[in-house]
Chain A
Amino acid sequence: MLKINLLPMKTNSPHVALFIPCYVDQFYPKVGIASLELLEKLGCKVSYPAGQTCCGQPLANAGYERDTVGATRHFIELFKDFDYVVAPSGSCVLHVKDHSPSISGLEKEQEELHHKIFELTEFITDILKVEKLRGSFPHRVGYHASCHGQRGLRLASSSELNQTLFNKAQKLLENLDGLEWVELSRTDECCGFGGTFAVTEEALSIRMGKDRLEDHVLHQTEIITGGDMSCIMHLEGIATRNGQKMKFMHVAEILNQAIS
């Protein structure tokens, strides 16, 4: 699926640009830190290009893709010279690849960017080719598959399709010592975040989130994890409001903590 030949490695360790989505930057710096440290531990040369804003996804999904030309141009210019761009978010990566408007004068750079931008877990499994991470994380972990990561970037098999089962995050997590993987009743149902959907369809959004949480409670999840903090923020927001005790961590936080 990758055009690796487009991207000659300049040294033994490729130069990775860390793309930290705006809400992670503002609300979850710990997830940015964990992503950075994790990639460094895995031998990558990582930079965080200054001046990052937002990829434009909230606007595009609300029907204003045409207003994201400025944000998209800025994004391409910021990241075009790196070997890879990696983000702890499937959703934002999907937006950059599928829904950013075409930028005149930067067509070549934009095309290249679409082949070298990755969500964190797929970068680790598919590019770094990490088969197994050694570490310990003795907890019962329930995984929330973000729809954009799962069905958009195909980070995991989809329950609707007749295909061999796979899950890139699970592959990295399940080998950690002591980690118990929780099997859910509905493995890949949406949590109801959905960007502006969370406020424009508030009642549905909350109901969907509560239903996801119930599934985790039923299967004694201790920590809910996932690859997108937007889903986690929504689920955690409902859980804390209702006094539910489970914990929430991004996959990067678990991996970074486990292998240190």
Chain B
Amino acid sequence: MAPSHDTVLLAHGGGGRLSQQLIEELLLPAFAPADGVLHDAALLNSPGQTLAFTTDSFVVKPLFFPGGDIGRLAVFGSVNDLAMTGARPVALSLGMILEEGLAMSLLERVVHSIRAAADACGVAVITGDTKVVERGKGDGIFINTSAIGVVEHALKIHPSAVQPGDAVLVSGDLGRHGVAILAAREELGFRSTLESDLAPLHTTVNELISSGVEVHCLRDLTRGGLASASDEIARSAGCQIELEEAAIPLHSSVNGACDLLGLDPLSMANEGRMLVICPEVHAAKALEQLRHHNPAACKVGTVHSTTTSEQQQPVLLRNTLGVLRPCDVSRGELLPRIC
């Protein structure tokens, strides 16, 4: 099937429906993975060990934002993608596309930040590349990182392992990164003391697995937020996920900003939060581990089996008045409402 738009739109990169369409209509047919199911990182079986491999690109504006910067984001982003397979991160590649005219002092700050973040995660930056584009052809710095890690557990952590009856947990309150970035863009004219949730997740994942939680699936909640991540997992797993709106942890500033701008907090980006799917009987143990890192971690939903007719609605949300409704995936662009 050919892509259904004549031109690439910003929304194709927003982690919502248009991103999904681009992957399903153009990229999957060209590069379909062996099992046909997408995950945050690919697994490579080599003699004696399983490796995890992933790549991610970073185009954030502003380059420095409350709670982080593009350098840390580039390291933690790829480390987190690896962590979603339960892999221990080992090494990173670093590709930078720089815009002519960028202040060298700023580049230095970013590079130091990358180094510090890599050290904190115990990964080495072992290969890299730099290109420079003419002024006006880039946005300061674009970064791509690829990461390689080692899988040292026997679990199958994958959407295909998700079972009806499983519990759906989140590792902390949602939407801080998205709101912090919106607030940092001065044109929005609203101030917030909220910081991005940017953080590495591999240690948390390692603790979950070591504590004996039978993890079925993990998903890094980045662009598109909880809404996109649960939709992708439910569709890949052939299950339905029911979320409990009242249980979803949201900081009051995230709620307030979303209310004001007419945006859906469940579609707001995160950079240090994940969805954990595990058997209901392991949920309490998993939450105990997650709460060592973030006290807001909690159970937000349940996986159900699904009939063919229900496949139209992979994710349902039970709202605060007790009514069930479909949980919508955003198109991919954040367009604040008029009034």
Verify that A and B bind, or say they do not. Answer: no
Q: Interface residues, chain A, CB within 8 Å of chain B?
A: none
